[in-house]
Amino acid sequence: MTKQTHSFQAEVAQLLHLVTHALYSNPEIFLRELISNASDACDKLRFEGLNNAALYEDAPNLEVRVTFDKAAKTVTISDNGIGLSEAEAIANLGTIAKSGTKEFMTKLSGDQKSDAQLIGQFGVGFYSGFIVADKITVESRRAGLAHSEGVRWISGGTGDFEVETIDRAQRGTSVTLHLRAEAEEYLNTWKLKSVIGKYSDHISLPILMRKEEWKEGTDDQGGEMVTTDEWETVNKASALWTRAKKDITTDEYNAFYKQISHDFADPLAHTHNRVEGSTEYTQLLYVPAKAPMDLWNRDRKGGLKLYVKRVFIMDDAEALLPSYLRFIKGVVDSADLPLNVSRELLQESRDVKAIREGCTKRVLGMLEDLAKHDKLPEASADGVTDVVSDEDKALVGKYTTFYNEFGAVLKEGLGEDFANRERLAKLLRFASSTSDTVSVSFADYKARMKEGQEAIYYITAETQAAAKNSPQLEVFRKKGIEVLLMTDRVDEWALNYMQDFDGTPLQSVAKGAVDLGKLLDEDEKKAAEEAAEAFKPLLAKLKEALKDQVEDVRVTTRLVDSPACLVVQDDGMSAQLARMLKQAGQATPEVKPVLEINAEHALVKKLDGSVHFNDLAHILFDQALLAEGGMPADPAAYVKRVNALLV
């Protein structure tokens, strides 16, 4: 059979370029990636072997072997897993199969392309071999195929690769890296062992290397380490989650996290438990420190690997956690599920439902713990400060980190997870009119509420600055009442599901007539009533002039410095949400806002009797629209009107 030359898919060439350039500072991860592929291949064999024991041929013990050849300057990673057919080698080693990866790559900006963190996240996988090698040879035979149906794949990692059919007695895959000159340090047992120990200790199958022994030199020549023919296992080779908590160090937990997540950074927290009872399973769940690039991708699945009695079943088992916790990474190992369980079956299984509830509770518990320790305790009134353990000190600031990365996703839970809504609400944090950092919880807010204040006030807007400077906040600022600033896209939607927090209603300052209730004093109330009465004729005129734009016009107490603002009726869709839906191309019911005017404002006072009444009325309306981040329907007309007055 002759050699065939194939071109890499365009994106692969691009990825190869990125990988070799962005990851050269962290070259050792190639070993983690190739061992992880070997382990995946063994998992696949174990899984297919459940229904077809013949696939094991005469080698029932699954294992990985790492060898090197000093003279040839090669390192080889071999496994006796499922292997690759020729067609599979062409497809899987020549294209980027994962649709997501392609998409992220096109989205990476010039700066990001050099960011090893980001590139690590989409699992550079096999191609990471080219960080240390200028040529890779893969030889493989798929389990079950004849010896004559082996395949050799060779590439220099640039434009193309060669494929030919070979005879191969052993099942599985050998990946041989022809090392670049600067990577020759990997031609060393100690070096390879230490990298394996760092990243691959908990691969659940044995990784074997040839034993070395000391050979005395002749005469006065010193001795040297030489490899023998004997093999030794160089990793722990037990699935981490099956071991007892007390025997596992933080470093080991972190290394395992990096192995399953492809993340370079340590996780923020983990929880590891064996659950017994009617549904039995082990869970090992991690909170990452950084959001992946595709967090908002709709097709993104969950981050949990499902095992059944230690047999790997599937990645990204989305049924194991609700979607708002899709950023959690980890492993669930069930003792009850059938080995041939499919994604569809998972959705319906009662055991899975129990696992999902259990995992959700654990994750929320983990987040509550981080939230509780986010800040060091303050001294109490009598000057007593609690002594904080080193363990707790290490948790300071972690929740803030978590929330900045994942807070917006967590909010989706308000609409998605009715049963845990109260726990979730306690985990939310916001900026407010008195706090620029996103750190105010509903409970903090409540504790600071003014005497007589009956609601938790909030405003939604595109940005924090827009929210903070909104005219609708004026009276609240004057009265010293804090208002939560909500600027995540998901806020509007999520808040639909929260009428109150711990018995205190939530009230948008942009919805309905502002009712400050007991917060207004008698004089203010009286003045407002009088103004409403005195302005009746003016309001009627304004309403007539703006009848195409507004539902109603009324006098308000919410403004201090601005002449007017727009609000929506109590049950109406907020302007912010309407704008978002429109941007997303969705049909929105046409709801007219209410124009509220500030009876104390000079412009408003001038309005009555002005010869420019009609122009002023429209300017008032358009400016109110601008102030809340909207756009006049006819900007040119607005400019014309203002200019006419300026002249």
Element (H, E) at 164: strand 160-166
Alpha carbons 220 and 147: distance in angstroms, whole number: 50
Residue 26's CB is within 10 A of a number of other CB atoms, namely 15
Does residue 81 bind ligand ADP (CB under 6 A)?
yes
Nearer to Mg ion, 32 or 429 (CB): 32
**Span interacting with Mg ion, options 122-130, 209-217, 326-334, 550-558, rule CB under 5 A:** 122-130
41 binds, among Mg ion, ligand ADP, none (CB under 5 to 8 A by kind): ligand ADP
Nearer to ligand ADP, 127 or 535 (CB): 127
SS3 175: strand
596 binds, among ligand ADP, Mg ion, none (CB under 5 to 8 A by kind): none
The least CB distance from residue 124 to Mg ion, in Å, is 8
C-alpha angle 533/535/541, rounded to 5°?
130
- 553 touches 542 (CB < 8 A): yes
Q: Determine which residue in the list 92, 435, 439, 504 makes contact with ligand ADP, applying CB under 6 A.
A: 92
**Span interacting with Mg ion, options 118-126, 353-361, 475-483, 625-633, rule CB under 5 A:** 118-126
Location of structure tokens 């909500």: 486
93 binds, among Mg ion, ligand ADP, none (CB under 5 to 8 A by kind): ligand ADP
Alpha carbons 365 and 344: distance in angstroms, whole number: 29
The least CB distance from residue 596 to Mg ion, in Å, is 59
User: Total residues contacting Mg ion (rule CB under 5 A)?
Assistant: 2
The least CB distance from residue 254 to ligand ADP, in Å, is 21
**Span interacting with Mg ion, options 33-41, 81-89, 511-519, 552-560, rule CB under 5 A:** 33-41
Q: What is the DSSP string of 41-101?
A: HHHHHHHHHTT-GGGGTT--S--EEEEEETTTTEEEEEE-SS---HHHHHHHTTS---HHH
CA 263 to chain centre: 12
Q: What is the footprint of ligand ADP within residues 3-42 (CB under 6 A)?
A: 33, 37-38, 40-41
Lay out the site mask for ligand ADP across 113-132 (x = CB under 6 A, - = otherwise): ----------x-xx------
Q: What is the footprint of ligand ADP within residues 171-230 (CB under 6 A)?
A: 173
Nearer to ligand ADP, 33 or 628 (CB): 33
The least CB distance from residue 175 to ligand ADP, in Å, is 6
The least CB distance from residue 207 to Mg ion, in Å, is 16
C-alpha angle 38/157/260, rounded to 5°?
35
Q: Determine which residue in the list 35, 84, 346, 438 makes contact with ligand ADP, applying CB under 6 A.
A: 84
The least CB distance from residue 129 to ligand ADP, in Å, is 9
- 562 touches 597 (CB < 8 A): no
Question: If you ran DSSP here, which 8-state letter would residue 546 be given?
Answer: T
SS3 514: coil
Q: Determine which residue in the list 93, 209, 410, 627 makes contact with ligand ADP, applying CB under 6 A.
A: 93
CA 559 to chain centre: 40
- 78 touches 67 (CB < 8 A): yes
Location of structure tokens 């190992």: 333
254 binds, among ligand ADP, Mg ion, none (CB under 5 to 8 A by kind): none
Nearer to Mg ion, 34 or 520 (CB): 34
Amino acid identity, residue 32?
Answer: R
Residue closest to ligand ADP, measured at CB: 125
81 binds, among ligand ADP, Mg ion, none (CB under 5 to 8 A by kind): ligand ADP
Amino acid identity, residue 285?
Answer: L
Residue closest to Mg ion, measured at CB: 125
SS3 185: helix
- 594 touches 566 (CB < 8 A): yes
Element (H, E) at 567: strand 564-567
Amino acid identity, residue 12?
Answer: V
The least CB distance from residue 98 to Mg ion, in Å, is 10
Q: Determine which residue in the list 49, 81, 120, 125 makes contact with Mg ion, applying CB under 5 A.
A: 125
Burial readout 266-297 (b: 16 or more C-beta within 10 A, e: otherwise): bbbbbbbeebeeebebbbbbbbbbbbbbbeee
Nearer to ligand ADP, 173 or 576 (CB): 173
Q: Where do contacts with ligand ADP occur on this chain (CB under 6 A)?
A: 33, 37-38, 40-41, 79, 81-84, 92-93, 123, 125-126, 173
Q: Where do contacts with Mg ion occur on this chain (CB under 5 A)?
A: 37, 125
